[in-house]
Amino acid sequence: MKVMISLLALTVSAGLAKADPVKDIDARAAATVSAMTPDERLQVLHGPMALPIFGSKVPEGAVPGAGFIPGVKRLGVPNMTESDASLGVAWVGGLRGDGATALPSGMALGATWNPDILRAGGATIGAEARAKGFNILLAGGSNLIREPRGGRTFEYLSEDPLLTGILVGASIDGIQSNHIVSTIKHFALNGQESGRKFDDVKISDAAARESDLLAFEIGIETGHPGSVMCSYNLVNGVKACGNDYLLNKVLKQDWGYKGWVMSDWGALDGVANALNGLDQESGDQLDRQLYFGKPLAELAAKDPKVAARVSDMATRIVRSLYAVGADANPAAKTPIDLKANAQAAERAEKEGIVLLRNVDKALPLAATAKKIVVIGGYADTGVLSGAGSSQVQGEGGPALLLSNGGAGPFAALMGEAYQRSIPLDAIRAQAKGAKVVYRNGRYITDAVEAAKTADVVIIFATQWSTEGLDLPDLSLPRGQDALIDAVASANPKTIVVLESGSPVVMPWLAKTAAVVEAWYPGIRGGQAIASVLFGETTPSGRLPVTFPASVDQLPRPKVDGSDLEPDFGGETGGTVVPVNYDIEGSDVGYRWFARTHATPLFPFGFGLSYTEFKREGLKIEVKGGVVTARASLQNIGSRPGADVAQVYLTNMAGKPTERLVGFAKVDLAPGETKEVTMTLDPRLLANWSGKDWAVSGGLYSFALGANAAELQAPVSVKIAPRHLKP
């Protein structure tokens, strides 16, 4: 404090004008790039994957990871060292030989509805990236869950643009607090994996702006990511990484984005991508040709417009490195306290676990249970993780790696990997005085016999998913539905713990006493699950995604392109797969369910607690164009817990709708009441007109909800018509 005051005094007494940091980095970046030779400018525009695969070597100066782009040392531009991803520093199949903190999956993070958790998680994984020598974390997965069977659902946060945007912004902010760049990805409308490089998403401008693009827009405004990663798919017939509309018009012009656009790995389709807004070619050995090398140099030598574009591309990159301070604070290898960092993962999972069912207060488990039988899910070994580029493992790698067969370079990355946190041990540590027995659940008869002897059965069920492949349906694989059904029929005191990447259907639901959705729970997952089961933690997660009752309720009962030969790389042999997002438009997830009047298995926003809450007194105030929602939340039970205020727009000037427009998570002691205030983003009260956000004006109705399907009586206010800049 003292130092700050004297520094301030010094500044004032020296009469220094306050520098504008934004203008300052713009000017510095422009000066640096103009001092570069043409070759140096090109050098920062592309780089290879930094892994010893596909016949490549790890380049000098690189850290083994997703990518490497040489900087310009003489001008102080650091090398760009890139690692995946949103859930921690990626394991890359063990090729680097070190472990990292694995946060729970994106779905678990989304289920926290708590930006503080995302910021803390981001700060932790960003610090680890930096301490491993990376200055770019390929994080910020923000695609909306349009397809719950999507192989990467586990990496993403939610089906809602506001929830996703706020949470991803907090995560990016946390990551970048370490003087490293975070991306936001995959821009845009990359909602499925089947034929991922050849999916041609058809969607209207308005529907895109009001859904997936809005999630990115809010995420960029709140998190200020240094880079945006464009996606593999096509949007309205044009590759996303060469899409003038997405990159030049929406991102750079309308949103005024000043950072750089990097390609997804192997996503380029030509040098023209540069003119359409792409700034950097990533993983360049994966493209058919190195487009941002010689071909771009030749074009730039001939055409001053292309040369100016090359300078702009380089300036955007250098600017973002300056904006986070990656030049002044170079990332370098330092020791990491994985044990301390694991606490961020445990806290996130404790808040992300969703209690879906709890008949007669079966949970938390009473100390009276003398015999507990734990079944299945490799609960004696570890916790499940999602596969693909985002996968993280702790020191020593996975506790168990189940092969899915296959040959070829991606087979090793496609294993079902269990992280080193053992639920059975954590249950034993909590269940003092009880006998805890484990059965692997391979044989139903054996599991049923054991279940019959138990006071309580805890059955773990897993649904593995991976980047590169979608799920064919929402069932639990390998006969687990039949196993749960048989066990719950034998012992009604059956508690199901789900470790799933995405929603599942539950044909056995009515037979169970309780269901806990633990998602892929991360490196302290076992401890977090046990803490919830035994009541040390009161569950406060809320679903960030609708759990359908069946796939028939979805806009696409079958995933487009799912009949193609599954291919991790997304190659279809050139066959374009049309994917029609105009079916649901911006009515993604719960909005689709509201529109079709379908009853899901569990609605968006749903989650039980061990205590009870009273939510009331919704007031909507309009002052000078700012709309504020206020509500009161009270803990009327006997345990401390956290509730989430959820405010939905239900009618816009006579048109029924359903949109989450405000949310806030609050901790409440027993008996405590808190007043929450939410300022509503005006874009959520508007529709995209074709050139701006148009609030049509009239009577608007809002409702406080326990979840998207359980809304209180609406409150209506008059809102004046207005137009807002994009």
Q: Which residues bind ligand BGC (CB under 6 A)?
A: 66, 84-85, 138, 185, 264-265, 389
CB 480 within 8 A of CB 442: no
Output 331 or 375, the one with its CB closest to ligand BGC. Answer: 331
Looking at beta carbons only, is 86 or 419 nearer to ligand BGC? 86
Q: How far is the CB of 435 from ligand BGC (least distance, A)?
A: 45
Q: What are residue 34's phi and psi, to 5 degrees? A: -70, -20
CA–CA dist 427, 306 (Å, integer)? 62
Question: Which H or E run includes 116?
Answer: helix 115-131
Q: How far is the CB of 216 from ligand BGC (least distance, A)?
A: 15
Measured from the CB atom, the residue of 410 and 606 that comes closer to ligand BGC is 410
| Residue nearer to ligand BGC on the CB measure, 222 or 282 | 282
CB neighbourhood size of 695 (10 A): 22
Judged by CB, which is closer to ligand BGC: 63, or 66?
Answer: 66
CB of 567 to ligand BGC, least distance (A): 12
The DSSP line for 147-159 is -TT-TTGGGS--S
> In b/e form, how buried is each residue of 642-666, taking b as 16+ CB within 10 angstroms?
bbbbbbbbbbbbeeebbbbbbbbbb
Q: Please choose, from the candidates 79, 46, 60, 58, the residue with its C-alpha nearest in 3D space to the C-alpha of residue 293.
A: 46
CB of 477 to ligand BGC, least distance (A): 24
Per-residue HEC secondary structure of 9-22 comes to HHHHHCCCCCCCHH
DSSP states of 682-724 as a string?
A: GGGG-EE-SSSEEE--EEEEEEEEEETTEE---EEEEE--EEE
* Least distance CB 84 / ligand BGC (angstroms): 5
What single letter denotes the amino acid at residue 643? D
Distance CA 506, CA 484 (A): 10
Q: Which amino acid would we find at residue 535?
A: G
CB closer to ligand BGC, 139 vs 203: 139
Taking the least distance from each CB to ligand BGC, the nearer of 131 and 136 is: 136
Please give, one letter per residue, the 3-state secondary structure of 321-347.
HHHHCCCCCCCCCCCCCHHHHHHHHHH
> Is 90 or 719 the residue whose CB approaches ligand BGC more closely?
90
* Closer CB to ligand BGC, 185 or 665, in the complex: 185
Considering the complex, what minimum distance in angstroms separates the CB of residue 236 from ligand BGC?
A: 21
Q: Which is nearer to ligand BGC, 90 or 374 (CB)?
A: 90
Measuring CA to CA, which residue among 414, 321, 341 is closest to residue 88? Answer: 341
Amino acid at 67: G
Compute the least distance from the CB of residue 290 to ligand BGC, in Å.
17
Q: Count of CB atoms within 10 A of residue 180's CB?
A: 26
Q: How far is the CB of 142 from ligand BGC (least distance, A)?
A: 11
Least spacing, CB of residue 253 vs ligand BGC, in Å: 25
Would you say 500 and 480 are in contact if contact means Cβ atoms under 8 Å apart?
no
Distance separating alpha carbons of residues 229 and 250, to the nearest angstrom: 14
CB of 138 to ligand BGC, least distance (A): 4
